Amino acid sequence: MSILPGAIKDSQGIVDVYADALGFSPEKMRTVLDKSLLAPMFLSFPIKKNISLEEISLIKTHSREIKGVTLEARPYRYYPLGDLLCHLVGVTGEISSSELEKVGRAGYRPGDYVGKTGIEKEYEPYLRGEEGWEQIEIDAKGRHLASLRRKPAKPGADIVLTIDSSFQRFVEESFTERAGSVVVVDPDTGRILAMVSKPGFDPNLFSPSISERNWKSLNSDPLHPLENRSIRGLYPPASTFKIVTAFADLAEGAISPEKNLFCSGELELGGQVYRCWNQHGHGNVNLHRALVESCDVYFYELGLKLGADRMAKYASLFGLGKPTGIELSQELPGLIPTNFWKERNYGTFIKDGENVTIGIGQGYTLATPIQLAMMTAALANGGNIMRPYLVDEIKSHDGTPIFHQTPVVKWSIKPDPRNWEQIRKAMLDVVQDRAGTGKKCRIPGLNVHAKTGTSQVISVKDKSKSEEEVPYHERTHAMFVAFVDDQPKKIAVVVIIEHGGGGGKTAAPLARKIICRYYGLPDRGDLRE
């Protein structure tokens, strides 16, 4: 139901006849009317959507005596896949005043629906299409006499995504935990093959507009289902960051990779004890064994030797601490701490104890799943940092090509081949070695390279409790990054399970399922023995 301001003859009559019938108070009806009078005189101003048959009958009944009230059919979205891909596709909503000011000249008007998030927002100009119109002749009683001129409406363009919905559905249904993210990418091109953020929501709730009850329900959910964790989830990367620390060491020569350091299970520094995840210690470990077994003490020492600024230099090379440039504007940059950043925000430089925790990807360090995916992709493709993308092509409604995606190399790391190979060999043994922390991702016939991570969210004093005895929000995040690059088609995978426990225990098996599905292999489960 809309108001046509230029046709109003009796505004009080509108209030008297319609306010109560539409469920408005007289004051609210008057306010809506006054607001409509600020709009252009010959443009309809919507005042109520989804009206009932009884309300339609009422308007028809009074159409001759009360001028200025009209009925309009407006298109709105239907999402046949429900919550599948909800964070990528996004939602539409009624155009706001500020949006109308920005795009008013493009033919938008009050009451129009525009993309608010995701692909809907980023590609709104392509998806919108063009409205049609018809000029007709009517008699004094409003009866249709003839059609004078007509311009047919044009549908919007077709957006072809990089994602196979059946693969996406498999990944989403395999993610049975409460919250987290999975990103799967083609390392050579940056094509996103699957992107999951859990929990999700049904975008049909927003079409044409979300009810107050549903809005409150989504906003009060402590798991924040509206948040796209894949591009906005900020997590300490934990031991997956040891790849960066190791790479920095090989490039800078802080500790010889052949040199053994002794892990007793803890490191004491300035009266503070920093514990290894293995409370019994790993004994003597070199860089390779430290990566394979994810020895914290070794990387504490390495973080101390390198310092935050040198680690930040190589983290930045891998694309951490900055948006990846995926075509979703709400992406967050993460955080890679430096002395400059610490001094600017806290008035002091990074201390030794903080260097220790940065070395294992904890402390201030924060990364998003999509950043970790592109870091992993670079390890698979020889060092190219690719710009990830979701749209392969755009075609007009008649099939005419409008846009075709071309992979973009943002920059290349250009590593020393020997250093590169040492990192890759260690990542292979993370999965293949009996002591490797990622052995639950072992797949016969595939050389899976990986790194596990277990991200602490709070400092836990009592280590005697089992994972199940710790409150959900205090449990560690399970993380896993992996790639396969010796097959005709390559893959890089990142799995993050919020409060999911150890990365090797819960995230690695999920990555194994996804990789098996991608290569059409049976998942034979845990093959450690």
Q: Which residues are catalytic?
A: 239
Cα 46 to chain centroid, rounded: 33
* Secondary structure of residue 430 in the 3-state scheme: helix
- The whole-angstrom separation of Cα 14 and Cα 42 is 18
Distance CA 190, CA 389 (A): 6
CA distances to 121, 393, 422, 424, 437 from 447, in Å: 39, 32, 15, 11, 15
CA–CA separation, 48 and 32 (whole Å)? 10
- d(C-alpha 498, C-alpha 477), whole Å: 5
Closest to 309 in 3D by CA, of 368, 358, 258, 374: 358
Residue 169, both tokens? 């559905």
As to burial, measured by CB atoms within 10 angstroms (0-12 exposed, 13-18 middle, 19+ buried), residue 65 is: exposed
Q: Determine the Cα–Cα distance for residues 506 and 526; give it in Å rounded to an integer.
A: 11
CB 334 within 8 A of CB 368: yes
